[in-house]
Structure 1
Amino acid sequence: MDTISLSGRSAPAGLGWLPDRPDVRDLTHESPEVRALLAESGSPSLRALAGDDAAEPPATADLREWFSPVEDQGDIGSCTANAACGIVEYFQRRSFGKHVEMSRLFLYKVTRQYLGLTGDTGAHLRSAMGALALFGVPPERYWPYDVAQFEADPPAFVFAYAQNFQALTYFRLDPANASGKEVLATVRRHLAAGVPSMFGFTVYNSIRRPAEAGEIPFPAKGESVAGGHAIVAVGYDDDKVIENPIDGKTTTGAFLIRNSWGESWGESGYGWLPYEYVLRGLAEDWWAMTAQEWIATAAFEE
């Protein structure tokens, strides 16, 4: 699996996102099932997502306060599992006020089994959520994160502790034929309403530079590709300016992202990715998830 060396980090950082094209069977934010679920929420902003006339979102959004501390995936390709578990932990914390660390290693293993893969192959985001809904995921303490055990089969008792997520609804925010501008607007509206999303993006070698600031520049001409990586969008800032030190070009507007390279990367594990990645097709495969029990709580009411 692809890795990338970062300044200030002794071991390479894992990547692991396998791009997956839209499928006609995918639920999207426009699917009747998804709209019906959001329409039942106690939150006016979530109910607005179920309609066609959602108001223009504010210039900034930031959901970090409800996320658990950023984890480190090490040098294996488990970024999709890290992203999915991070969003589950967000909803558990925001909806119920509790923090339970989910087993990222368990989800990475069962996702690859779900795909019929062996080895450190990385995974699709769609498959990570499918495995989450099918197998559930246990607390971290029952199947701790040890990169040396990434291929080990969890024993039966670990499956017994897996929390049931069969009621989970996951849906695509970038359906086929959606333009970059449409995807950008959709993701921003969901973030403003309190719905984070996970996605994959093409990693260029200029990402080595922002270890402290977490500002990932739009690639300069001629930069080499390091691989694909899955992360979580947890906010945005329409006025965020990021400069690529290679060519001096700047972009305005960026997503606040939650990485899985530990708290020493970026701002305690968080960083910024320019909107330009979405507009130019370098960030795709956008997914959100929710469940009735999460969004029906008073925590989402305004």
Structure 2
Amino acid sequence: MSILVTIDLRGQFGPVRDQGARPTCLAFATSDAHAGLRQGWDPLSCEYVFYHAQKRAGQTPTKGAFLNDMLATLETEGQPKEQEWPYLPALPSDLSQYHPPTAVGALYGREAEQPRQDLDLIRGALNQQRPAIVLSTLTRRFFQPPNDGVVMHDDQDRVFPAPRHAIVAVGYGEFGGQKVILIRNSWGPSWGMAGHIWLTEDYLRRHMYGLALLKEACDVPDRTVAA
């Protein structure tokens, strides 16, 4: 059985990146959705947007970020290209040493909205070639997706209350008469199908708890000195 694909935006992205053991999935999802809207694939700094989102929230960088703070940071602080502050596999042992470089070059901002959690809105955004940021609880099947790359809802599938996770919706179609959404993860290319899987809409409807859609690019002030 094959998937009847309606929209597939994977061509707007480069290889899937790997967040490692850090709680930075939302920074990766936001950064990749942002970069996927720009002309050509040029990764943006997850580290920069994560740092400023945590600073805005008054949170330690050892914890995950909140969607409100991440989107506000993207609009007001923006983010530079990945090479300006590359992702750190681990935080420094002395957190006083964790801060952006003195200069990071151009900063790119993006407006966003948090609409109701509606699968029609996800498909509508994808029809406009716009990826969507999705927040979801995780299940055992998500951690170990089947060989066909389609994760379906199963009442026996164990749900993990924590951690919660951020992914990027990058396509949709049908599989065996069920509507499915293609998602891009941040666990590296060895997970799923080169870092992607299909989730049935029944699965996603039960586990999605947040949605963000990025809108127009916006200007942010130059910041040449780390705050």
In structure 2, what is the equivalent of residue 62 of structure 1? 8
8 Å Cα contact 1:81-1:104 kept in structure 2: yes
Q: How does 1:58-137 map to 2 (within 5 A)?
A: 60-93=6-39, 98-137=40-79
CA 139–214 in structure 1, closer or farther in 2 if over 3 Å, else same: same
CA apart distance, 1:219: 4.0
Matched residue, 1:234: 170
Alpha-carbon separation, structure 2, partners of 1:222 and 1:215: 14
CA distance in 2, matches of 1:139, 1:103: 5
**Residues in 1 aligned to 2:139 and 2:73: alpha-carbon distance in whole angstroms:** 29
**Aligned counterparts of 1:108 and 1:213: Cα–Cα separation in 2:** 33
Instruction: Give the TM-score normalised by structure 2.
Output: 0.83
More strand by share: 2
Which among 283, 291, 300 is matched to residue 216 of structure 2?
291
From 183, 192, 207, the equivalent of 2:127 is: 192
Q: Is the 8 A contact 2:51 2:61 kept in 1?
A: no
Amino acid at match of 1:188: R
Alpha carbons of 1:274 and 1:192: their partners in 2 closer, same or farther (altered >3 Å)? same
Q: Structure 1 residues 108 and 269, CA, compared in 2 at 3 Å: closer, same or farther?
A: same
Q: What letter matches 2:175 in structure 1?
A: K
> Which residue number in structure 1 is paired with residue 223 of structure 2?
none
Alpha-carbon RMSD = 2.3
Unaligned runs of 5+ in 1: 1-57, 176-182, 242-250, 294-302
Partner amino acid for 1:283? M
CA offset digits 1:163-211 (Å, max 9, x no partner) = 141xx32112316xxxxxxx12222122112121101111012223217
Name the CA distance, whole Å, in 1 between partners of 2:152 and 2:136.
12
Pairwise CA distance, 1:253: 1.6
In structure 2, give the amino acid aligned to 1:189. G
- Report Cα offsets for 1:226-268 as digits up to 9, x if no partner: 521000001111x224xxxxxxxxx822110010011111111
Matches within 5 A, 1:101-180: 101-149=43-91, 152-158=98-104, 161-165=105-109, 168-174=110-116
Which sections of structure 2, spanning at least 5 residues, go unmatched? 219-227
Question: How many equivalent pairs are there?
Answer: 210
Mark the CA change 1:192 to 1:74 in structure 2 (over 3 Å): closer, same or farther: same
CA distance, structure 2, for counterparts of residue 211 and residue 88 of structure 1: 29
Amino acid at match of 1:110: H
- Write the distance in 2 (CA, Å) between the matches of 1:155 and 1:146: 13
CA 1:189–1:153 in structure 2 vs 1: closer, same or farther (change >3 Å)? same
Query: Which structure is larger by alpha-carbon Rg, 1 or 2?
Result: 1
